[in-house]
Each structure stands twice: as C-alpha cells, then as structure tokens.
Structure 1
Amino acid sequence: MNADLRQLRYFIAVAEELNFTRAAARLHMTQQPLSAAIQRLESELGVDLFHRTTRRVELTDAGNALVEPARTALQAVDDALAAARAAGSGIAGELQFGLSTGARYGLEPLFAALDQRYPAVHLHTRHDSAVPLLAALQVGRLDVAVTFAAHIPADLEHLRLKNEPAVLAVAANHPVAGRHSVRLSELRDETFALDIPGDNPDYDKAVIESCRQNGFEPRTRVSSRFHDSWEGAVHSEGCVGLTVRTALHSTHRDLRLLTIEDAPTFPIELVWRNPTGTLRPAVTALVNTARHVCNEQSWT
C-alpha cells in the first residue's frame, strides 16, 4: 500500500517538531492516533522513520531521506489545488503589465505574493517610461502598470506602493563618489541628467523643483532616445542624477548611489483602468495583493 498525503503531512509534522505531543497539537489531533498513523506508515514502507526513547525522538537515516521528497510532494499538491481553486473562482488569466524603468527592482515581495496567492495569474511585462505606460493603460493595451514619479490621470485608478527617497547617482570617478551622503545644496554647480523628452515630465519637474527648494536653479541635460542614455549621461558625461534604489541595480556599471540628506521622495504607484466599474478578477487579485504587501512590508 502506498503512503497517502495525510500520512506524509503527519510525518513532516513529527520530523519538524521531533516531539509527538507538539506535532499532535500542531495538527489539532491527539497523540495516540498520530503515533498509530506513523507506525502504519513505517509498516507500509518497511522501515523505521524515527528512533524513539522516553526522552527524545530522532530521525533515522530512512526518515532523513524521506523529509525533503515528502515536503516537495506536499508542496506540489498544495500548489496544484491552489491553482485549481483560483481558476475555478475565475481568478486566473494573463495580465498585460507595465513596469516603469524607475521601479525595476524592489517589487519582488509583490510578485512573490501574487504567485503564491494566485498561481494561475500570469503577468506579461512591458518595460517603459511613465507616459507611454499611462497612455497604453488608457487605451486598454495594458491592464495594470507600476509608474515612477508620475502624475496619474483622473480616468485611472491607483494605489501608492511606496514613497521612495531619492538618491544621487554619480560616476565612480566623480569627486563625491567616495562619500556616503551629500546635500543637494552642495550640487549647485553640477549638471543634472533629466529623462527623455516627453517620457516622464513629472520626474523632470520634481528634480528641478527639488533643486529650487535647496536654493538654486539647476543646469540640466536632457537624455536622448538611446538605450540607457540617462545612465550614460551620468557615467560618461559627468552629469549627476536623482533616482531611487529601485531604479538601478546595486552593481550597475560604474555608478555610485549616495544618500541625500533630507531627500525628496518619488512616488511609485500601481495604476489600473476601470472603465466599466467592474474589474476583471485577475486585476482585483493583483490590486488586493498589492494592498496586503504594502501593509506587510510597511511600504507606505
């Protein structure tokens, strides 16, 4: 007779607790039927899974060999059942998802939680700047997007995920690159890299306004329409840039990120279109998951 799933769950509980009383309490059952179930499993397998004494419980070699395969089997079953429930309740499908270049990193807890809660929901991700993403949302080419430092049009709904503190990006050979922090007022003689014209004017306005609030009108350089042109202006042309740690990988090519004292913040928003007043279940699942993760991670 083959071991059933209940027996494997009982076995894992005892293997993790190494105590039948605690394992029984964890399983919401009494110790006697748990002990009997483990004995039946051992009889069916023809091996002892535990060494038992009056003072301790230990795994045998056979028990140790069973732990990880049993966990894998149980997780596979749980995942399959979760996917079936999600699909059966309508919470399944593919979402066209836009991700701003200012939020490329740091949202892993959201994606992990969505995958765990709704494994039948799949994201097809498009990377772009805020204005193209918002335009795609408004005409229905995207279902949901995450924007960076953008004003959200009135016909779109949104949830603030984070207020990310700005950091200063400089080349590795820049005079301040070796410092841990800097004040914006120290940068009045620098040239600030801005975004590609039209791609995220709200970011450009926020950079200029932050400098003005620190007592100076910044010199600026507008990025051209080439891949990584903003990073190139900072890396190769001596510019400095305001960004956030979710925008650049910590090992980005020869750039250094410095903390800004009394830093301004840039909003990162989850944005979606709801023209009929009734969202698709998959969109609702993503939005609700985002709310949960925001609270759990204390993002806002």
Structure 2
Amino acid sequence: MTAERVVAPRREEPTVAPRREEPATAPRRDVDPRLLRAFVAVAEELHFTRAAARLYVAQQALSRDIRRLERELGTDLFARSTRQVTLTAEGERLLPYARRVLEAQDDLVAAAAGVARPLLVDLNSPGLVFGRILERARVLAPECELMARFESGLAGSAAEIVAGRLDVSFGRYAGLDPALRAGLDHQPVRYEPMAVLLPAGHPLAELDEVPLDALAGETVYAGAGNPRTTEWTGLARLLFEGRGIEIAPPAPLAVGPEEFERVMAKNRNPVLAVVDFPAMAGAELRPLVDPVPLSPVSLVWRKGLIHPGIEALREAAATLAAEEGWLVRPVGGWLPAADGLVMTR
C-alpha cells in the first residue's frame, strides 16, 4: 500500500491594520511640592540662608532643590550673584502658579482632615461695616477660621491676594489695575456715602452736612503717595476735578489709628472718608452732600479660590446688603461711570 503525503492546509496570516501615529504631546512632568515650597521661600526671601532657616533645612539642600526644579522645568528661576538673588522673568511668571499649587495642596490636606484652612480677610480699618460682614460669616460657617487683619487699602490687598498671601478684601474694584483684576473676582456690596473728617475748630465743622462745593479752596488728604490706596486716591481725583479742591501731597505712611491721628492732627488737612469711618480724636466727621458722593465697595477674592469661608462671606454680604439697602443707589448720588458698570454687572 502506497503511503500518501498529507499536506497541512495553509494558514492565512491575519491582516494587520497600519499603525496610526498618535499626535505628539509634551511629556507630563509631575513636580514635587517640596521643590515648589523651596522656590516660593527663596522668591519671597530673595536670600538662600533666610529661606533655608524658614523651611528648617540646610542651605545646601535648599540649593540642590532649586537646581533640581530648574532642571525639571527647563528654565532658570533665579539670577544669582555673590551679592544678591533676584527672580528671572520666568521666575516672576511662574511664582503665582507655584503659590496656587501649594495652596491647593494645603486645601486637599485640610479637606482630608475634615477642616478648611484659615481664611485671611483684610478689613482695612477697625470700625468699618466690613467687620459686620465678617461677624455674620463666622455665624454662618462656625467650622471655618476667618482671620481678620487691618492693614491696607484694596490696591495693596489685591496684590497680596493675587500673590496668595491674602484671601479676601473689600474696596473699589473698578479702581484696580486691569492686570490685577484678571486674577480676581468680586461681588458688589455697598454704595457707601462719603464724608469729610475735619480738624477740630475748622469752620465747616459747625455744619451738620458739608456741601461738596464748600470744600473749594481746601486741600484734602486722600491717601496720595500711599501705594496701598491708589484706588481711593483715584476716586478722589475724579470727585474733586473741576471743583477747586486740591489733593494733599503725600504724608508719611501711618500704620495704625494712633499714628494716623497724630499725622492728621499735625497737618490739619480735611480727610476724605466714608460715613462709617470710626471716630478720631480731635476731628469731626461730616457727611458730604449736594451731591452725595458714593464709594463703591465690593467683596474681592482670588479667582478660582474654593473655600467654605468664601461662600459664607458672600452670603453674609448679600444678606446684609438686602436687609439694609446697601446696593440701592441714592437718587442723584455721584459715582464714576466705570464704577457704575462694575457695580451693576
């Protein structure tokens, strides 16, 4: 019997589709938060020894962290010499981002622990209505620590907020530099009637209300030269324009009510203020009329900031404004057009 050769059937090779090229993307780089903390500390101190002491690390370790971060980001963050440390242009650009990343990390840790980090709120000066908003917010969010400070006008506070060193402030939002406003959000709170603080014995102090035109020929202090209150000085310039009222030249920067009282008593200039400005020894506060000039006040915070304290402050401000008619603009009240648009957004 003749054996037959068995031939296995030929197996067809599967058709392989041509490989599709994936679009090129930049490689993801996860940055160690420790390196960012080193960067922020050196950027704020502009001194490696002080920054190392602040972080409780050796200076050599801090220097290594900065060099590693620069390698990972592919850019120089600092210009170093034997005499000084300065931020490069790229360092200046990246600093706000680093601060936001660290803030978000702190918020994450606090949320995991079941508590929110303290919120720092600048009230400008003791005795103003902003304090009432803060107290109402503390009732609404008792689990939050809302910390008050009394340091600055809105221009100074806004720069601190954008930099991440402050969370909330109050003031004239339209008077801020547009570059600052790009990093902020706001909520209109009040049209605050303005007043004048008159030195004791001033003839106008005999009046219950001071017509605005009665200040013609006067030199009125409105914070000129103070970089923290440029929005207030700008409002005064608009108000005084064409009325024969001069803005007083810069005075020494007074920190605290006692120093402010001393400097104002020495110069004896009327001071542009608001009707709720706290009493000051040796001076009389009188509302301005004909027309009633208005100071537009907003609650201001960093854009994108998520915190239960922010929601409590916004609710407190809205509730008080509704209860007391703070956002009802008086008929005939004076307000710059730009401020009117901002307050009725």
TM-score by length of 1: 0.61
- 2:281 is paired with a residue of what secondary structure? coil
Q: Which residue of 2 aligns with 1:289?
A: 316
The correspondence for 2:128, drawn from 105, 113, 125, is: 105
* Post-superposition CA distance 1:63-91 (Å, at most 9, x none): xxxxxxxxxxxxxxxxxxxxxxxx99x67
* Post-superposition CA distance 1:195-218 (Å, at most 9, x none): 1432212211211221125x3252
Q: Which residue of 2 aligns with 1:257?
A: 285
The correspondence for 1:181, drawn from 209, 225, 240, is: 209
2:196 touches 2:271 (CA, 8 Å); kept in 1?
Answer: yes
| 1:177 to partner: Cα distance | 1.3
2:221 touches 2:269 (CA, 8 Å); kept in 1?
Answer: yes
Bigger radius of gyration, 1 or 2?
A: 2
Greater CA deviation, 218-227 or 138-147?
218-227
Q: One-letter code of the match for 1:164?
A: E
Is 1:96 the counterpart of 2:124 in the alignment? Answer: no
2:200 and 2:306 map into 1 onto residues whose CA distance is 47
Greater CA deviation, 91-100 or 134-143?
91-100
- 1:119 is paired with a residue of what secondary structure? coil
* Post-superposition CA distance 1:73-111 (Å, at most 9, x none): xxxxxxxxxxxxxx99x675421112223x742234423
Q: Which residue of 1 aligns with 2:250?
A: 222
Is 1:266 the counterpart of 2:295 in the alignment? Answer: yes
The correspondence for 2:151, drawn from 128, 131, 134, is: 128
| 1:297 to partner: Cα distance | 2.7
1:219 and 1:135 map into 2 onto residues whose CA distance is 25
The correspondence for 1:191, drawn from 219, 223, 244, is: 219
2:169 touches 2:300 (CA, 8 Å); kept in 1?
Answer: yes
Quick one: higher RCO (CA 8 Å, sep 6+), 1 or 2? 1
| 1:169 to partner: Cα distance | 0.7
Alignment of 1:23-42 (within 5 A): none
* Post-superposition CA distance 1:101-152 (Å, at most 9, x none): 3x74223442332222211112222222222211110011112112357624
C-alpha distance 278-174 of structure 1, shift in aligned 2 (>3 A): closer
Is 1:245 the counterpart of 2:269 in the alignment? Answer: no
The correspondence for 1:119, drawn from 123, 133, 142, is: 142
| 1:237 to partner: Cα distance | 2.0
1:163 touches 1:266 (CA, 8 Å); kept in 2?
Answer: yes
Q: One-letter code of the match for 2:182?
A: A
1:174 touches 1:238 (CA, 8 Å); kept in 2?
Answer: no
| 1:241 to partner: Cα distance | 1.5
Moved over 6 A (4+): none
The correspondence for 1:155, drawn from 183, 195, 202, is: 183
1:94 touches 1:122 (CA, 8 Å); kept in 2?
Answer: yes
2:187 and 2:322 map into 1 onto residues whose CA distance is 12
Q: Which residue of 1 aligns with 2:235?
A: 206
Q: Which residue of 1 aligns with 2:26?
A: none
Q: One-letter code of the match for 2:299?
A: L
1:192 touches 1:218 (CA, 8 Å); kept in 2?
Answer: yes
2:162 and 2:270 map into 1 onto residues whose CA distance is 33
| 1:191 to partner: Cα distance | 1.2
1:99 touches 1:147 (CA, 8 Å); kept in 2?
Answer: no
1:171 touches 1:255 (CA, 8 Å); kept in 2?
Answer: yes
1:172 and 1:289 map into 2 onto residues whose CA distance is 37
Q: What is the percent sequence identity of the aligned residues?
A: 23
C-alpha distance 278-139 of structure 1, shift in aligned 2 (>3 A): closer
1:172 touches 1:255 (CA, 8 Å); kept in 2?
Answer: yes
C-alpha distance 114-217 of structure 1, shift in aligned 2 (>3 A): closer
Structure 1 unaligned segments of length 5 or more: list them.
Answer: 1-86
Greater CA deviation, 163-172 or 279-288?
279-288
2:189 touches 2:326 (CA, 8 Å); kept in 1?
Answer: yes
C-alpha distance 91-244 of structure 1, shift in aligned 2 (>3 A): farther
- 1:160 is paired with a residue of what secondary structure? strand
1:163 and 1:263 map into 2 onto residues whose CA distance is 11
Structure 2 unaligned segments of length 5 or more: list them.
Answer: 1-110, 328-345
1:96 and 1:295 map into 2 onto residues whose CA distance is 25
Q: One-letter code of the match for 2:315?
A: N
Q: Which has the higher strand share?
A: 1
- Give the number of equivalent residue pairs: 208
